[in-house]
Amino acid sequence: METENYNVIGVMSGTSLDGIDLAHIQFRVESQEWAFEIIESETISYSSDWVTSLKMAVGFSINELDDLNQKYTELLATTISNFIKKYNIENIDAVCSHGHTILHQPQKGFTLQIGNLPEISALIHQTVVCDFRVQDVQLGGQGAPLVPIGDKILFPEYDYCMNLGGFSNISFEENGERIAFDISPVNTVLNFYANELGLAYDDKGQKTSTGSINENLLNELNDLDFYQKKHPKSLGFEFVKEVVLPIIDTYKISTTDKLRTFTEHVAFQIASALPTKKGNLFITGGGAYNDFLIERIQSYLPEIKIIIPSNKILEFKEALIFALLGVLKLRGEVNVLRSVTGAQKDHSSGVIFTV
């Protein structure tokens, strides 16, 4: 049986603004069985100016967004080129890049990931596969989450696959279909309040663990309309800025109490999202390092076995899966599932730019 090999780079920037994740990945495909190896991987942190710009961009005018998109595409190109040069990566089949989400309003038929302009291919002298979300929204889908097909293909041994990043999302098999949806904000909120304490993030949840739960706030958060909706459903930073933070800030409580209450909210919503409370739960994303959050999730799911993988998979799973989405696009195969996004059909999403 013929074996096919792909040598690609996956690039991802998440809503938690940790930086740009890059992973050099080799895929092997034989009889529709996929295997992968993450060779080199690195996260390039944003400058403080870039963090500010990306946080503020949700309120930018069209002209300001166009300018930001151009500058971010150039930043991404430089970052990718430096990664290729640093690790002397040759014979690359494609660079598969998510870009950075600025606006995500699928209910209005709109999503914007910057860094996906056509010139990125010429700037890095490589074939680029990118802009994976727009087509799905045009087909009536949520444009998110896109990772679940990667869970299905690369991690089929787990009952549940969950990412704890800027937002939490989960995927699993139900009635022969892959189901997935966003659960709640996570690090977009936790990091916001950690910043108030002068921290980039709350390491292992140590500060959070010293706070107390405000029951009224917890109940108000748990009663939000989003949590009553059926999947498919997805979240953007607009939800945090316009809904979650204003609610939390009406409560005159300490920052540690806000962190503690929101962490409890996250754990409760994750437990509520699982249709059965048995099996194994594979957790990746920066939130997997938050020992206190993991402890609270486990307390709500005593019969679930939580599995946290090696650091390389934990930190670069999304870059890995966007690399896979790019390869599937190159192969002309489905890389977005209607059962996940609610689109009119399964489809092969993304655009291919060649030098």
User: Angle CA(149)–CA(153)–CA(158) in degrees, nearest 5?
Assistant: 95
Q: Are residues 126 and 201 in the same domain?
A: no
pLDDT for 291: 98
Look at residues 137, 99, 102 and name the one whose alpha carbon lies nearest to residue 118: 99
φ, ψ dihedrals at 43, nearest 5°: -110, 125
Total domain count for the chain? 2
pLDDT for 308: 98
**Is there a domain that residue 175 lies in?**
yes
**pLDDT-based confidence at 145, cuts 50/70/90?**
confident
**pLDDT-based confidence at 93, cuts 50/70/90?**
very high
Asked if residue 158 has pLDDT above 70, the reply is yes
Q: Are residues 200 and 240 in the same domain?
A: yes
- Cis bond upstream, residue 148 (ω within 30): no
**Is there a domain that residue 136 lies in?**
yes
Token pair of 157, please? 């041994």
**Is there a domain that residue 62 lies in?**
yes
Q: What residue type is 281 in one-letter code?
A: L
pLDDT for 234: 87
Exposed / middle / buried, residue 334 (Cβ in 10 Å: 0-12, 13-18, 19+)? middle
Contact 72, 20 (CB under 8 A): no
Locus of tokens 């999503």 = 111
Q: Are residues 162 and 225 in the same domain?
A: yes
**Is there a domain that residue 317 lies in?**
no
Asked if residue 32 has pLDDT above 90, the reply is no
Q: Are residues 257 and 331 in the same domain?
A: no
Which segment of 151-160, 228-237, 244-253, 323-332 scores lowest on mean pLDDT? 228-237
Q: Are residues 28 and 164 in the same domain?
A: no
% of residues, the chain, pLDDT over 70: 100
Beta bridge partners of 174: 177
**Is there a domain that residue 301 lies in?**
yes
pLDDT for 1: 57
Q: Side-chain half-sphere of 203: how many Cα atoms within 13 Å?
A: 2
Q: Are residues 165 and 130 in the same domain?
A: no
Can you tell me the distance from the alpha carbon of 231 to that of 275, in angstroms, rounded to the nearest whole number? 12
Domain that holds residue 55: 4-142+322-353
Can you tell me the distance from the alpha carbon of 238 to that of 155, in angstroms, rounded to the nearest whole number? 31
Look at residues 327, 334, 318, 316 and name the one whose alpha carbon lies nearest to residue 352: 327
pLDDT for 134: 96
Look at residues 147, 162, 191, 148 and name the one whose alpha carbon lies nearest to residue 267: 162
Q: Are residues 8 and 55 in the same domain?
A: yes
CATH of the domain at 24: 3.30.420.40
Classified as helix, coil or strand, 145 is coil
**Per-residue pLDDT tens over the stretch 188-197:** 999 999 999 9
**Is there a domain that residue 254 lies in?**
yes
Asked if residue 20 has pLDDT above 90, the reply is yes
pLDDT for 73: 98
**Is there a domain that residue 252 lies in?**
yes
Can you tell me the distance from the alpha carbon of 172 to that of 281, in angstroms, rounded to the nearest whole number? 10
Asked if residue 81 has pLDDT above 90, the reply is yes
Q: Are residues 260 and 155 in the same domain?
A: yes
**pLDDT-based confidence at 16, cuts 50/70/90?**
confident
Can you tell me the distance from the alpha carbon of 60 to that of 354, in angstroms, rounded to the nearest whole number? 30
Q: Are residues 75 and 133 in the same domain?
A: yes
> In the 8-state DSSP scheme, what is residue 46?
P
pLDDT for 14: 87
Q: Are residues 77 and 119 in the same domain?
A: yes
Q: Are residues 154 and 122 in the same domain?
A: no
**Is there a domain that residue 19 lies in?**
yes
Can you tell me the distance from the alpha carbon of 107 to that of 112, in angstroms, rounded to the nearest whole number? 13
- Which residue blocks in the chain are alpha helix, DSSP H? 48-56, 62-86, 119-124, 134-138, 148-154, 187-196, 215-222, 237-239, 245-249, 255-273, 291-300, 311-330, 338-341
The mean pLDDT value for 275-288 works out to 95
Beta bridge partners of 281: 160, 306
| pTM for this predicted structure | 0.89
Q: Are residues 173 and 281 in the same domain?
A: yes
